[in-house]
Structure 1
């Protein structure tokens, strides 16, 4: 049962989302061009996913699909 609880922890994922959208002022995380580009692409993906969820909710409640 504890293995299942370990798989269902969402704190690491939420920490990643917060880290992607914040600037690294302390220099805790490594910086390279590839890492910066990866985080930039992830930001775009997260924003697009949020917009798609909003569109789906709009269609479900407002348009009745």
Structure 2
């Protein structure tokens, strides 16, 4: 059961998306756009979580 709740790989992806490009990684326009969209969605998600927490505290 413990294996299913490990989130290390998920958090590693969040950090990896914002790091500089690995020189050994494959390079294509589609991959760059996918990572760009993922960056935007992660930032929007974090902003929304912060807004929800602030609203919950202000009640």
Q: CA–CA distance in 2 between the matches of 1:55 and 1:20?
A: 23
TM-score (norm 1): 0.80
Q: Tell me, which stretches of 5 or more residues in structure 1 are unaligned?
A: none
**After TM superposition, where is structure 1 displaced by more than 6 Å over at least 4 residues in a row?**
none
Q: CA–CA distance in 1 between the matches of 2:3 and 2:10?
A: 13
TM-score (norm 2): 0.86
RMSD: 1.2
Aligned length: 59
Larger radius of gyration: 1
Which structure has more relative contact order (CA 8 Å, sep 6+)? It is 2
Q: Does residue 52 of structure 1 match 2:42?
A: no
Q: Tell me, which stretches of 5 or more residues in structure 2 are unaligned?
A: none
